[in-house]
Amino acid sequence: MIKVQLDQGPAVEMDAGVTVFEALKNLKKTDRRLAAARVDGEPADLSRALTQDCTIAPIPADSPEGLEIMRHSAAHIMAEAVRDLFPKVKVAIGPAIESGFYYDFDVPEPFTPEDLEKIEERMRQLVKQDQPFSREEVAKDEALQLFSSQHEDYKVEIIEALPEGRVSLYRQGNFLDLCRGPHIPSTGLLKAFKLTTSSGAYWRGDERQPMLQRIYGTAFATPKELKQYLEFLEEAKRRDHRRLGRELGLFSIEEEAGAGMVIYHPKGALLRSLIEDFERREHLKRGYQMVMGPQLLRADLWKRSGHWDNYRDQMYFTEVEGQMYGIKPMNCVAHMLIYKSRGRSYRELPLRYFELGTVLRHERSGVLHGLTRVRQFTQDDAHIICTPEQVESEIVGVLDFVFQVMAIFGFEYEVELSTRPEKSIGSDAEWELATHALIKALEAKNLPYHVCEGEGAFYGPKIDIKLKDAINRRWQCATIQCDFTLPERFDLTYVGADGGRHRPVMLHRVILGSLERFIGVLIEHFAGAFPVWLAPTQAVLLPITDRVHAYAEEVAAALRAEGLRVEVDSRPETLGYKIREAQGQKIPYMIVIGDREVADRTLSPRLRDGTELKDVPVAAFVARLKEESQIPSTT
């Protein structure tokens, strides 16, 4: 007999060898659909036999953990369906991801939409068969022999990297996969799923490795939740910044120019310029000083900063007259050189250096995505060099800055605290001081936060602010990093009130982060319909006939004289066509001009939501548009 305890309840004696499901049934905890359970805190299959005293807890299928297990199982079912339909396929990996799952396959030709329909139908058949998931454990050598005999090269590569010992496998139907588990009890538990798309993906995300075909899918506990998610996907597709960026003439990424390199078109460059002007004004108001560092710095500096040892794989290097240089991936090194250019006193601190700094990072092609992941981007980067006593108040000031700016753009947010990663520089004491400073600032603002263990920068812990957009997606933009280490490496000092030399602390921070990413997020947040102050074109004049063109140009000149952004659509098209075009371009105001407007010296503006205004005097419209064009202030 063994004793089985449910959470904090009393222990109940049961026969050794009882399964987790039978134990939960005895404890009357099978009233909900269960995906798996926790045994002594570790996730386990419901079919697992219990052989010693333990504590168990059910994992319902509709819980976050249960959904993750169900989605992982859905990936296995999808792989079985693909194998059934494409017998020569080689399988790679198939994890659960946020809101879904994927599996990578080595196939001669990319999957088509028709293929996905067939795979999904085969999955339904496998679900209907209610195949049980069963776990097997074999020696590593036996697993190698098994998958080698099946010519599953990717599984063999994974197994070879595992430590010696036993390897766990999962079988459902005629499909066997290498997996840690756990899984749902049987395929029949998968009630609501959908395959969404397929794309190319390099093995292990490395462009030097084979290109595989990845199929994405999603699964939920109920058909209702699946339907809601599919509607969300359609809305996200409608807001996709890559499509809108092309349709609105904002930017392009051309293969012949290079992957991850953004080319801004006139309207996109204007949008970016408006954001940059807003940023400069807000930083100057808060006592920041504008600086600018070079794109290339000698490799010796990157070695001293720790980038050479900890960040080299994401950097580009070149040689000039026999000297190795690194193209900057960050702006901090040049800012420290500015600080060191002369002696500093405690009376000068804090010093806040701000740069709209363009950086380059070697991102793998497999992770590049529109504006949100590129190889060249510009950060609204600043470094605050201050005394240890000023650290908390400076962090609080940055947090206030972030939240005031995000309110202007209509973003909500969540906060994360990321701690020391395995690959890092600096002493334990320095990391403890830096982490404590960030925590104190969060507590001073009474901000709830989630701790991300081991996800800090290599030189210091950080606060990340995740923005929530109009359809509740999370985006990483603002960050604050507390650094006691680089001031030590670059021997930054200041003369204190006691006349002695002291070591300052450096805060690395961005407000919007990468301008490219932020613009991509903005496009999707507003679905391309920017507020008037941000719209590249604020109004378009639509003359109905040739004889009113002169008046249209006169009005356009008056608007431009007031600094307003206006176009005249003089194409020989119908008024309805011009209005539809302007609506497609998300222009805030469409101004119809006909004979009556010329005679009365008025305008007939139409808002992009369909509202129509009649007989508006030109001066009144100019005043209205000027008011709406004012760049918002955070104070």
Alpha helices by DSSP H, 320-390? 332-339
d(CA 57, CA 43) in angstroms, rounded, equals: 9
SS3 227: helix
DSSP 377: E
At residue 206's C-alpha, the angle toward residues 203 and 210, to 5°, is 45
DSSP 131: P
Q: Where does 461-618 show beta strands of DSSP type E?
A: 462-468, 474-483, 494-495, 501-502, 505-514, 539-543, 566-568, 589-593, 602-607, 616-617
Catalogue the active-site residues. Answer: 332, 361, 379, 381, 383, 462, 508
Candidates 327, 332, 318; CA nearest to 510 is 332
Contact predicate 606/592, CB 8 Å: yes
d(CA 486, CA 205) in angstroms, rounded, equals: 31
Contact predicate 405/380, CB 8 Å: no
Per the listing, tokens 């969404």 go with 196
d(CA 556, CA 562) in angstroms, rounded, equals: 10
What is the layout of strands, in order, in the sheet containing 166-172? 134-139, 166-172, 175-178
Contact predicate 119/154, CB 8 Å: no
d(CA 589, CA 612) in angstroms, rounded, equals: 10
